[in-house]
Amino acid sequence: GAVVSQHPSRVICKSGTSVKIECRSLDFQATTMFWYRQFPKQSLMLMATSNEGSKATYEQGVEKDKFLINHASLTLSTLTVTSAHPEDSSFYICSALPIMRAFFGQGTRLTVV
Amino acid sequence: AQTVTQSQPEMSVQEAETVTLSCTYDTSENNYYLFWYKQPPSRQMILVIRQEAYKQQNATENRFSVNFQKAAKSFSLKISDSQLGDTAMYFCAFVYSGAGSYQLTFGKGTKLSVIP
């Protein structure tokens, strides 16, 4: 089946630095990928839709300048958390929906200290 | 806008018993897909079962089956012969397949604990 690989699985960074999270579709092409944020014991909250070759679509309340998304190829989308603060600490998950069946990356636990 | 409601924040079941998790949704669309995802402590999202709205037959996957009631907009998950490995968060999700939009809408989840 389709596989989505997300890297890194865990990252700790200092306040004020930037962190890049990669999401790759390994055996299919994904023109669209989705980025979610999940707080402890809560559901997945859609942050943005990543579109290959064009600008990402952000959900209301998500800061575009803080969460930069780049989808430069059909198999790679990246989320960069810029000038990270402790409140950005969370679990981030990417997803793609080939053939109307969603596949998820393993998730990235970001801790900002 | 589509909404998905899971009214049971937490549930527990004895090992080897059967449990049903409820899910209702609201949509004006006719063509859509429904999913149940499992999220164990590892937090990897795992597809449990998928149902196409145009299919009247309920989907089944081994010990997992759904009761899909399209008119009532209900999509419950039945887990038979519960196993300890079934302990996880379960999310019901909806995706509308029209207009090029494939955004998943999730319910808030049900935490299932299987008791030995």
pLDDT tens, residue by residue, B50-92: 999 999 899 999 999 999 999 999 999 999 999 999 999 999 9
**Of all residues in chain B, what percent carry a pLDDT higher than 70?**
96
Residue A70, classified by CB atoms within 10 Å of its CB into exposed (0-12), middle (13-18) or buried (19+), is middle
Cβ pair B94, B34 in contact under 8 A: yes
- The residue-averaged pLDDT of B12-39 equals 95
Residues B59, A99, B38, A33, Cα dihedral to 10°: -160
For residue B109, give the chain A residue with the closest CA: A43
Nearest to A41 by CA among B75, B88, B94, B2: B88
- Whole-angstrom distance, CA of residue A84 vs CA of residue A108: 15
CA distance B31 to B34: 10
Nearest-by-Cβ selection for B95 from A93, A97, A109:
A97
Q: If you count them, how many residues does chain B have? A: 116
Helix, strand, coil distribution of chain B in percent, nearest 5: 5, 55, 45
Per residue of chain A (113 residues), give pLDDT as tens.
668 999 999 999 999 999 999 999 998 898 899 999 999 989 999 999 998 888 999 999 999 999 999 998 999 999 999 999 999 999 999 999 877 788 999 999 999 99
pLDDT at A79: 97
Residue A98: the pLDDT is 77
Determine the pLDDT at residue B86: 98
Would the pLDDT of B36 be above 80? yes
Q: How far is B104 from chain A (nearest CA, A)?
A: 8
Which residues of chain B neighbour A102 with C-beta distances below 8 Å? 35, 37, 45, 47, 93, 95, 104
CB contact under 8 A, A38 and B43: yes
pLDDT for position B93: 95
Across the interface, do A102 and B47 touch by the CB < 8 Å criterion?
yes
Give the C-alpha separation, A91 to A62, whole Å: 15
Q: For CA atoms A6, B49, B102, A88, give the dihedral sign.
A: negative
DSSP structure class, residue A107? -
Report CB contact under 8 Å: B43, A44.
Answer: no
Cα(B86)–Cα(B62) distance, integer angstroms: 13
Q: Is 90 exceeded by the pLDDT of residue B31?
A: no
* pLDDT surpassing 70 at residue B98: no
End-to-end CA distance of chain B: 41
How confident is residue B99, by pLDDT bands cut at 50, 70 and 90? low
CB atoms within 10 A of CB B11: 15
Residue A109: CB partners within 8 Å, gap ≥ 6? A9, A10, A11, A90, A91, B43
